[in-house]
Amino acid sequence: MTNIDQYQPCVCGSGKKFKFCKCGATDHVADLDKILRLMDGEQDLAALDRINSTLSKIPNASWLLALKAELNLAMQEFPTFVETANRFLKLKPDNPLALIFRSIATAIQEEPLEMQARYLLDGMAESRESLSSHALFAVHSLVSRLRDSESIGLIGMWGEMHEKATAQNPSYSILRDPSLHLACKSPNRIVDDSPNAPWAERLQEVTVLSSAFRFEQSEKKLQSILRDYPSQPGPLSHLLRSQVTLLERWPAVATAKKLAEHKDVSPEDRAYFRVLAWEFEQKPLNLNSVVQFGEIDSDETLIDALSKLDELRLDEVDESRAFMGAMIGDEVPAKRVYQAFQTTQSSSGPIKAFVGIVGVYGKQTDKPARVLFMAPDFPPNRPVIEKITGLLNITKPISDAPPYEQNYIDFLNRNRFVENDLAPWVTLDERGRQLVEEFLNLPQQVLEGQTPLEAAADERKRANLVALLLHLEGSMSLVVPASAIEEIYKRLELQQPAKTPVPAEDTQFSMSTYMDLLRLDYSGLSDALIVAITQLAVSKGASRLMYEMAHEIIRRGENSKGGLHVANSILLELDPDLNNKLTYVEKLEELSAAAKRPVGRLVLLKVDLLNTLGKNQQAQEFMLQAAKKYATDPELAAFFQQFQAMAQQQQMRGGDDLGMKMMTTAADRQAAKEQSGIILPGQAQPSGQGESKLWLPGT
């Protein structure tokens, strides 16, 4: 008797039902059943031994190779997996599982990304009713390699597939990464053709092929169309989508540039395709930099001089020293690492912004003392840069200095803080003001080394300037108020593209890409649609849009009940002001308690915020109140159980735990207050029965 379902897909991965598959498994049901029972019982080694034994008798059994590859992968026997996958594909070149396994093997062997994508697409194209679970793993493998490559801008369709593959753990989706440009988080825009275009019928065939994951065939058909009808924007935009999906980076750059210069494409779309070309190519968006690397007479003399410079701060983190060592190919970490900062004044106090980094390397047996200085070349920072380089005293420059390449967005988003121990964060309003000034005065390669303010007077640079502004808008890691972007357009005397109105009665809207969210008029949207768009922005890591939508929900107040929890959660995450965070936590506590949700994590977060703000007594009092108010809360109960266990361990060790002392002191104070009848904020009546009654404001 066997447990094999005759009408389930065959284990060989052909997509055919077991009963009708011609792979030969039906002739060896007993062997297959024993192997599957071992695998189900997690006896992988025994299952693998049986597979190998059976393979020695029937070496060309694809069903055995499929099972062996699966076990090799599960057991992380990667060299054997690669060998099995190659053998499997050679035996069954059209088998979808064999193609998917070959895609995974390509990643293991670090073969080109394009090859990995082609095998995976072929495997998905050959799949019948449903994709193998191994296809989801293959997508994750491909996206992981993409994330760390220069082809990250081609994420498009693969990012959307990865989002579906991580549906049970949405936070793992690559589309949630705010550092990925919004224009790259969906397949590229398609330019509409005239319905009567002579290539329309052939283009429909392309659409069918693409929907079946046959992008290689659709690319060939598109190239055939473009030979007959050169430079047509509709076919070109379809070609770009195929090239991006096939991860053909440089062909995609060339096609995007053609569309960006095409006169029959609208100005808005030309700017969009220019942004894509920059993202695919990456380097045009990098800033010029100052790099000095060379030998010095004495590392101690230089360290002494650098330590006296007000603009430098010693970075004592071991990882920073190791990183600077790796930058020059040394296994020995740098002896000292300094970070340079430029100081500007603001209403919050002096703000220090990162300028560059200095690594000092001690003398070794076979190497002299050396120094490395790297900084983006931002004109307002040049006095600080010149001050540092004047102290380096390099006696012999080293020609093979490491490159220092930084995207202008990363520069604008660099580390900065307020010299104020009580409030060291830079507010979002202040970030917005600094963004305006820095962006307008930042030399850009795409503007031939000019700043946006300088390029605004040059008509030849107008197209690149408009595209640069669109790129800035779609860069979601820059969380600033929308007024900052509007101010940049105003200062450059450029008209910001109009918002797209949505009729109030509409319950949905369509987008060609997620960039359309930048032009949506939110004022006419229903409360339900506002919440839905906010959740969409969260899933796509569109941080600045999340911030704007959260404020819109809160502005609507009780009309957006369903979204208030989402809105306050977003603002809690994005707002750097700890006082504001405290307000959002309190609102979330109120909303969660009203909805009978656990509040333990919010209580602990509020305690943490109060302590960080120096309000330790208030934190202790609140914790004790919360313990009584939410006595049945599972999250708080788990915390106190863990805390009690730690306290008992501490007592057994005879230690004097500071946390326990603080909690005991707080408990004593609370008991004293209860005896005196003090009414704490939030209490309806005195806790104790004493005659003295003290009322506090806010009750």
129-167 pLDDT per residue, tens: 778 889 999 999 999 999 999 999 999 999 999 998 898
**Confidence at residue 269, expressed as pLDDT on a 0 to 100 scale:** 97
The residue with greater pLDDT, 348 or 658, is 348
The residue with greater pLDDT, 488 or 531, is 488
| DSSP H or E stretch at residue 409 | helix 408-412
**Confidence at residue 652, expressed as pLDDT on a 0 to 100 scale:** 66
Residue 214 lies in a domain: yes
The answer on 624 and 643 residing in a single domain is: yes
**Confidence at residue 605, expressed as pLDDT on a 0 to 100 scale:** 95
- Domain boundary among the residues 364, 381, 405 is at 405
**Using CA atoms, how far apart are residues 253 and 247, in angstroms rounded to an integer?**
11
The enclosing domain of 247 has a CATH number of 1.25.40
The answer on 296 and 269 residing in a single domain is: no
**Using CA atoms, how far apart are residues 593 and 218, in angstroms rounded to an integer?**
55
Residue 22 lies in a domain: no
Count Cβ atoms below 10 Å from residue 44 Cβ, excluding itself. 16
**Using CA atoms, how far apart are residues 248 and 146, in angstroms rounded to an integer?**
12
| Res. 5: pLDDT tops 70 | yes
The predicted-structure confidence for 465-523, as pLDDT tens digits, reads as follows 999 999 999 999 999 999 999 999 999 999 999 888 776 655 566 788 999 999 988 87
**Confidence at residue 503, expressed as pLDDT on a 0 to 100 scale:** 63
The answer on 340 and 255 residing in a single domain is: no
Alpha-helical regions (H) of 308-381: 318-327
**Confidence at residue 676, expressed as pLDDT on a 0 to 100 scale:** 33
**Using CA atoms, how far apart are residues 279 and 286, in angstroms rounded to an integer?**
11
Phi and psi of 294, rounded to 5°? -175, 180
| Res. 679: pLDDT tops 50 | no
| Res. 276: pLDDT tops 80 | yes
Residue 184 lies in a domain: no
Residue 469 lies in a domain: no
Say if CB 152 and CB 145 are below 8 A apart.
Answer: no
Mean pLDDT of the 270-279 span: 98
The answer on 397 and 304 residing in a single domain is: yes
The residue with greater pLDDT, 66 or 559, is 66
The answer on 699 and 670 residing in a single domain is: yes
**Using CA atoms, how far apart are residues 224 and 218, in angstroms rounded to an integer?**
10
Lowest mean pLDDT among 236-250, 393-407, 436-450: 393-407
Residue 208 lies in a domain: yes
Taking all residues of the chain, what is their mean pLDDT, rounded to a whole number?
A: 89
The residue with greater pLDDT, 54 or 558, is 54
Mean pLDDT of the 284-301 span: 96
Total domains in the chain come to 3
- Domain boundary among the residues 379, 405, 431 is at 405
**Confidence at residue 328, expressed as pLDDT on a 0 to 100 scale:** 94
CA distances from 44 to 40, 47, 138, 331, 449 (A): 9, 5, 21, 40, 61
The answer on 332 and 272 residing in a single domain is: no
CA distances from 478 to 329, 331, 547 (A): 33, 35, 11
Confidence of residue 604 (pLDDT cuts 50, 70, 90): very high
Looking at the DSSP bridge assignments, the partners of residue 360 are 336, 371
Would you report the helix, strand and coil content of the chain in percent, each value rounded to 5? 60, 5, 35
Looking at the DSSP bridge assignments, the partners of residue 337 are 359
The enclosing domain of 311 has a CATH number of 3.30.310
The answer on 678 and 662 residing in a single domain is: yes
The answer on 315 and 238 residing in a single domain is: no
Confidence of residue 370 (pLDDT cuts 50, 70, 90): very high
- Domain boundary among the residues 366, 388, 405 is at 405
The answer on 271 and 207 residing in a single domain is: yes
| Res. 660: pLDDT tops 50 | no
The answer on 324 and 400 residing in a single domain is: yes
**Using CA atoms, how far apart are residues 245 and 218, in angstroms rounded to an integer?**
11
Mean pLDDT of the 560-586 span: 92
Residue 442 lies in a domain: no
Residue 250 lies in a domain: yes
**Confidence at residue 115, expressed as pLDDT on a 0 to 100 scale:** 98
| Res. 388: pLDDT tops 70 | yes
Q: Structural domain of residue 296, as residue ranges?
A: 289-405
The answer on 303 and 395 residing in a single domain is: yes
| Res. 662: pLDDT tops 50 | no
Residue 556 lies in a domain: no
The answer on 299 and 258 residing in a single domain is: no
Count Cβ atoms below 10 Å from residue 106 Cβ, excluding itself. 25
Count Cβ atoms below 10 Å from residue 261 Cβ, excluding itself. 14
Say if CB 469 and CB 489 are below 8 A apart.
Answer: yes
